[in-house]
Structure 1
Amino acid sequence: MKNNSTKKLTLFALTWPIFIEISLHMLMGNADTLMLSQYSDNSVAAVGISNQILSLIIVMFGFIATGTAILIAQNIGAEKPKSAAEISVISLAANLGFGILLSVLLFIFDEQLLHFMDIPAELMPEATTYLQIVGGLSFIQALIMTTGAILRSYGYTKDAMYVTLGMNVINIVGNYLFIFGPFGFPILGVQGVAISTGVSRLIGLIIILIVLFRRMPNALPIKELFSLPKAHIQNLLRIGIPSAGEHLSYNGSQLMITAFIAAIGTEAITTKVYTQNIMMFIFLFAVAIGQGTQILIGHMIGAKQYEKAYRRCIRSLKLAMTISLIMAISFSLFSSQLFGIFTDNPDIIALGTILILLTIVLEPGRSFNLVIINALRAAGDVRYPVYIGIASMWGISVMLSYVLGIVFGLGLIGVWISFILDEWIRGLLMLRRWKSRVWSKKHFVHDEKSSSTL
């Protein structure tokens, strides 16, 4: 593992498989939406609301995965492969237990969660079905996320990409069988989409675990789980909980905003779902660049190459902003045709086109947060983004969504304006933090000889 040094890792080599992997994840969600749109617009809205809740759960799993990625990268950069392997085992065990707990809670309290979202009554049956099946199996996604984080931190970004590709193929085939009913298959609609999602993730988990153990056949001390240093789990929590707090705040704010939109009506929810599905393909470049940058900076921080890490973040930010702007303009030019793929409702297409136009201003601002926050986490500066994120998301995004969207009657246009202000204000504060170089004094690499065990 020592041979997998930072000298062999470049942003492009790390980013393009991550980009394809994220694209495939987004395609999986879009495949569900696109296929369901041929079945029912109400089904699209039901799945969209359920996925808002599931996104919140994914964030909960992500706090272990995020800490895992950063700690492994820092220890590899510091040439401490034993610690990196120990962290891998601890994170897998932790997210398995946590995943099972949240899966059980989702299955039991599905209706209560949906009632909290104040969804229209006509959407409740399908939303409940989807949340029970996909939510009840969400522990599978917890393990996939953790295993993927381990592989990417070691530089094996292609492996996670190939597994995601396979999952997408299985999911799309399953959707086709259960939505359109060829060869005598029952037409199950939302239930069929949920089953297809669960089965594809289960197969993906089996494959990615096989890949992990083949990549590191003798490196993972699984049998020594309960004798591993306690410092590893403490560091996972020190990084993961604040990092999850920022994501949790974002998803929580989105849940609240979705509840505002639900009060407007089902058509508004559907428009939001279609618009955000299209927007995902605009900012996925920035997401991939941010994740690739996080791996590189983690290695550099472990090797104490602080100036190199500083320059890497600034270059990545400029690249992400440029690509996001170009993509937003390109998608805006063809927004009517893109919405036409999902629906023929002229009101949805007209409003969605305006929202994509506003995205030209939104996405460059989002790039600040996608790149710099990942860089700050990789350096161990994990609390500042949380504090600023909570203040901005709730004080700007949620508050202005209600004031502009509901009180002043601007609807989704008012919501998108609040998104723009949130991303830009928060992003500029993150840039100021990075330039202060406070992060250069924080990291989590420890002596491998620690005797304190779990």
Structure 2
Amino acid sequence: MVFSNYLKEFPKNLKIAVPIMLGQVAHLLVAFADNVMVGKLGDAQLAAVSLGNTLIFIALSIGIGFSFSITPLVAEADAKGDTNKVISVFHSGFLMCFIMGLLLMVVTIFAAPILYFLDQPKEVVDLAIPYTYWVAFSLLPLMMFQALKQFVDGLSKTTYSMIASLLANVINIIVNYLFIYGEFGFPRLEVEGAAIGTFVSRVIMFLILFILLFYKTQFKVYFKRLKSYSSGVIKKIFQLGLPTSLQMLFEVSLFTIAIFLSGTIGVKSQAANQIALNLSALTFMVGVGLGVTATIRIGNQKGIGNITYLKTVATSLFLMTLLVELVFAFTFLIFHEHLPGLYISDLDVIKLASEILIIAALFQISDGFQVVLLGILRGLQDVWIPTIICFISYWLIGFPIMYVLGNYYSLGVKGIWIGLLSALTVSAILMFYRYRELVKK
């Protein structure tokens, strides 16, 4: 009977989560398309995309992590029926995301030449620099999109951002095709063409979501009173956004270091690492969907103070995560020799990537649980302890294991991924203990 109570929550979770998952997976499918299209050009070009994205991933982790603070505040205010608070959070959050987007764009552009000093192959860096510049320009429209997305997600209306993502990503693939290969009279820009596709799609993605919300009757109340800023709300967004950004920064920077370390081993190792990262990111986005669902639903229950039901919702999300991640783990194990061939024809790269995917299969459950637990804790507006847990797991445990096994035990890129597995597992365990501690109180 108790188990059936958790199963009853599955449809409610899926109603919120599926559009988020589809939107997130759509982003990654475009990254997959980027890698496949660029991979046809050669391993140096594929490695260049991987390297160029290192700085972008760091900027994205800060910006997107910051925008995540909007969702629990909107969810809490919406559950209480406080429309004025929702409006204030929305407008204040949009302003802060716009400023954050500008800052990240400028910093990333000026930081791009650092890639020359990171002991990476020069041919790869030469291709990565112009790619990085174009994608840096896309950070501003992306952050504006994130502000709208996190606001409407907080209202449990997750379909709109999914529609915008899907439409924009179709356009991304089309623009990529035209500019990477120079089809239909367009210039052949190869790696740089992939970046132009990203920039164009993110501008369109923001415009689509803005139009969908602005002209929808149910959202007009949130756009009527413009500039409804509140210093108190801005302070609260900052207090939640800063540690959330750090959480994502600690995790993403560890995966970024994995890219750098694999690059020092060789171009083939870096290309294999990029393939495994891209495939793992696809499954991670499903976890992200469940994590955002956790933030919304837990935030709602926090708003009305129903702790008993809050625990029921959390447990239902744990069960869903376990089922989904087991499917992904077995998929990686069964098809680990076949999936890398979708990206590249180099047999050495395929062999390396297939070996990495076995390790990636093992951390699917840890990865899924840690992102869902982070979502639950974010819904409870508990952010600083999880930030400390992320730092310990990724940088005091994961990085030393990664560095030692990768460099001193001849495991190469496989040793790097064992470090990632260790970090994610420790993070999931510690996050769960933090959740148990909070619900006991």
Aligned to 1:276: 277
Aligned to 1:25: 27
Aligned to 2:6: none
Per-residue CA deviations over 1:94-139 (Å, capped at 9, x if unaligned) read 1111211221222233112x13543211112211001111113311
User: C-alpha separation between the residues in 2 aligned to 1:368 and 1:293?
Assistant: 11
User: C-alpha separation between the residues in 2 aligned to 1:406 and 1:207?
Assistant: 47
User: C-alpha separation between the residues in 2 aligned to 1:133 and 1:222?
Assistant: 35
Residue type of the partner of 1:127? Answer: A
TM-score by length of 1: 0.91
Quote how far apart the aligned CAs of 1:438 are.
5.5
Per-residue CA deviations over 1:302-356 (Å, capped at 9, x if unaligned) read 1111121122112212221221122221232122221111112222212211221
Using a 3 Å threshold, how does the CA distance of structure 1 residues 76 and 336 change in structure 2: closer, same or farther?
same
Quote how far apart the aligned CAs of 1:222 are.
5.0
What secondary structure is seen at the aligned counterpart in 1 of 2:189?
coil
Using a 3 Å threshold, how does the CA distance of structure 1 residues 439 and 349 change in structure 2: closer, same or farther?
farther
Aligned to 1:376: 377
Using a 3 Å threshold, how does the CA distance of structure 1 residues 251 and 439 change in structure 2: closer, same or farther?
farther
Kept in 1: contact 2:293–2:375 (CA 8 A): no
Quote how far apart the aligned CAs of 1:439 are.
8.6
Matched, 1:47 2:49: yes
Per-residue CA deviations over 1:11-31 (Å, capped at 9, x if unaligned) read 111011111111101111111
Using a 3 Å threshold, how does the CA distance of structure 1 residues 257 and 278 change in structure 2: closer, same or farther?
closer
The residue correspondences of 1:66-105 to structure 2 (distance < 5 A) are: 66-105=68-107
Quote how far apart the aligned CAs of 1:252 are.
2.1
Kept in 1: contact 2:50–2:259 (CA 8 A): no
Aligned to 2:220: 217
Residue type of the partner of 2:222? Answer: A
Stretch moving more, 174-183 or 362-371: 174-183
Quote how far apart the aligned CAs of 1:401 are.
0.6
Kept in 1: contact 2:276–2:360 (CA 8 A): no
Aligned to 1:292: 293
What secondary structure is seen at the aligned counterpart in 1 of 2:156?
coil
Matched, 1:60 2:79: no
Kept in 2: contact 1:397–1:419 (CA 8 A): yes
The residue correspondences of 1:32-431 to structure 2 (distance < 5 A) are: 32-112=34-114, 114-215=115-216, 216-220=219-223, 222-225=225-228, 228-431=229-432
Q: How many correspondences in the alignment?
A: 430
Per-residue CA deviations over 1:242-277 (Å, capped at 9, x if unaligned) read 111111111222233322222101111100001111
Residue type of the partner of 1:243? Answer: T
Quote how far apart the aligned CAs of 1:290 are.
1.5
Kept in 2: contact 1:88–1:220 (CA 8 A): no
The two structures, once aligned, show a CA RMSD in angstroms of 1.7
Quote how far apart the aligned CAs of 1:414 are.
1.0
Kept in 2: contact 1:64–1:146 (CA 8 A): no
TM-score by length of 2: 0.94
Kept in 2: contact 1:67–1:239 (CA 8 A): yes
Stretch moving more, 280-289 or 127-136: 280-289
User: C-alpha separation between the residues in 2 aligned to 1:123 and 1:275?
Assistant: 19
Per-residue CA deviations over 1:391-417 (Å, capped at 9, x if unaligned) read 110111111111011111111111121
Aligned to 2:12: 10
Using a 3 Å threshold, how does the CA distance of structure 1 residues 438 and 242 change in structure 2: closer, same or farther?
farther
Aligned to 2:4: none
